[in-house]
Amino acid sequence: MFSVIQHYELELDANISDKALKQMLGQQLAKMPRRMDRLALLTLLLAVPFRGQLASNSGIYLAADYPSLGNMHSLLDTVIVQQQLPKPFEFINSVSNAASFYAAQMLALDGPNVFIGAGKEPWQPLTELAFADLQCHIVPEVLLIRCLQGKNQLCGQAVHLRSGHWQPTHWQFSDFATAPR
């Protein structure tokens, strides 16, 4: 079924500023994408360890409990409260899977790229999408990323999988993290 290549976890202070997140990322990237929101910054921090590890046609699958909260708050304030036009990139980030776009760009991937809204139980749906693509030979390998921003959290996990012979009991991060390598 699967072969777990690598996994990664990150837990940050929920009060950390976007500027500090950019600095953390800047220490690892020669060139920083512009106009990223907080969800994109967290996604990139979770994806950075996988640079150079994935074939270009690999799939990337991202789950998050919320859209980027700061971005959505700013949009509502600008458009509904102040009755102004939004900043173009705030709008684009809100209607697309911008965070996984930036991750794919950083990882030089041009395969499938899917975002799902899921907070409490993201690993089963993420793994189903990846399993379907692996099973149907759409992709050679997959990167699954989960981001949490709600309930005063800022954390996430990521897993790099290929097709293999290991069958997890549950499609959960804890199983992937303890899988034989």
Footprint of other proteins (CB under 8 A): 57, 60, 64-67, 69, 72-73, 75-77, 79-81, 83, 85-89, 91-92, 94-98, 100-102, 104-105, 108-120, 124-125, 128-129, 131-133, 135-136, 138, 150
Question: In terms of CB distance, is 35 or 178 closer to other proteins?
Answer: 35
CA distance 39 to 6: 22
3-state DSSP helix/strand/coil percent for the chain, to nearest 5?
Answer: 40, 20, 40
Question: In terms of CB distance, is 125 or 140 closer to other proteins?
Answer: 125
Question: In terms of CB distance, is 90 or 175 closer to other proteins?
Answer: 90
Quick one: which of 153, 146, 64, 46 has its CA closest to 102?
A: 46
Minimum distance, C-beta of residue 172 to other proteins, in the bound complex (Å):
15
Minimum distance, C-beta of residue 6 to other proteins, in the bound complex (Å):
21
Residue 180 DSSP one-character state: -
Question: In terms of CB distance, is 102 or 173 closer to other proteins?
Answer: 102
Residue 141 DSSP one-character state: E
Q: Which amino acid is at 20?
A: A
Quick one: which of 110, 173, 161 has its CA closest to 3?
A: 161
Question: In terms of CB distance, is 108 or 178 closer to other proteins?
Answer: 108
Radius of gyration of the chain (CA): 16
Phi-psi region of 52 (alpha: psi -120 to 50; beta: other; left: phi over 0): left
Place of tokens 């379907």: 132
